[in-house]
Amino acid sequence: MFKKLTLLAAVWTFCLIVLGAYVRLSDAGLGCPDWPGCYGKVTPHHAIESISAAHAEQPHGPVSLAKAWKEMVHRYFASTLGFLILVLMVLAVRQRRKLRQSPALPVATFFVVCFQGALGAWTVTMLLKPAIVTSHLIGGMTLLAMLVWLTLRQRDWSVARPELPDFRLQAFLGLVILSCQIILGGWVSTNYAALACTDFPSCQGSLLPTMDFNDAFHVLRELGQAPDGSMLTMANLTAIHWLHRVGALITFCYLIWLSWRLYRQKVLRGLVGSIVVALVLQVSLGIGNVVLHLPLPVAVLHNAGAALLLVLLVCLNFRLASGRPAPMVPQPIHSLAS
């Protein structure tokens, strides 16, 4: 049961991340401007009068019945995940001897999902402040990584495993680089900077367009505004977008190099090949977002691709950690003499 629940929670988290991207990219993040309900109701159906009134006042505003349902379905999915992780934590603590595993990771995962729920509430009540929305994305990806690791721990490792060369540091660095790139991508999305450049490989007709980094990465500010309350300029948005492109180039080159080094190990070829395919598809989706002017399906798939790459890099790190050579155990002197 524990093994099945960990896998279910990991898959559910992946789907929740994709659903959250769809909600954000379809401008439904404020479909219900309160939390946890929708205008104090359990479903948008029960809040139809309030939603209709808000939509009539602002026909092109953030509130409509369709957007309200998108937002609430996302909340229902998130609540279900919180319940799953709660059950996992209880099982891990109560059956720690039977599982022969420390319950520390399930307990930590529970606290992370609680904080993630708080970030979800603040995302709405603080009107999509970029720092909060980006932190919400980071929390979702962190949960996914923790649950994937927990799922991999449930495999039967009683069979003999071939020893692998010690590439743990390089693989961990790859995970760090990918994580930084995901954060940059979240900052692009939450600041609506995806279309600051609509050509590729150049940006506004130049490899080094006019950019202003002064306010582009200032964390404590409102959506679309600089810290002093003025509106962000196109140069600010261009700086955000351009840096994400540079990060994509660094991530692509490093992961291709790492995959080339690890492909020599036969037991890793399937996983390494998956990383390369996912990486190429992810870069293609990113280029497609630019040249096709951010179509919703492509943008959502780009978020899904980031989550998939994270899963694969976590699997690689786990595989290298579990396949490292056993430490040398000193033998007694009389044993050596004999």
Looking at residue 157, its pLDDT comes to 52
Average pLDDT over residues 150-162: 72
Write the pLDDT tens digit of every residue in 96-155: 999 888 999 999 999 999 999 999 999 999 989 999 999 999 999 999 999 999 999 998
Structure tokens given for 260: 């080339």
pLDDT of residue 323: 63
209: preceding bond cis by omega (within 30 degrees): no
Residue 160 has pLDDT above 70, yes or no: no
Residue 243: name the closest of 176, 196, 296, 310 by CA.
196
Q: What is the pLDDT of residue 189?
A: 95
Q: Mean pLDDT, to the nearest integer, of 179-205? A: 96
Asked if residue 335 has pLDDT above 90, the reply is no
**Amino acid 165: pLDDT:** 75
Token pair listed for 217? 């990465």
d(CA 86, CA 90): 6
d(CA 248, CA 257): 14
Q: By the 8 A CB rule, do 23 and 74 touch?
A: yes
d(CA 204, CA 202): 6
Q: Is 71 a catalytic residue?
A: yes
Give residue 84's pLDDT: 97
Decide if pLDDT at 272 tops 90. Answer: yes
Q: What is the pTM of this model?
A: 0.92
**Is residue 262 within 8 Å of 317, Cβ to Cβ?**
no
Q: What is the pLDDT of residue 328?
A: 42
Q: What is the pLDDT of residues 55-86, one digit of tens each?
A: 999 999 999 999 999 999 999 999 999 999 99
CA distance 168 to 174: 10
Set 57, 71, 163, 222: catalytic member: 71
Cα separation, 172 vs 277, whole angstroms: 20
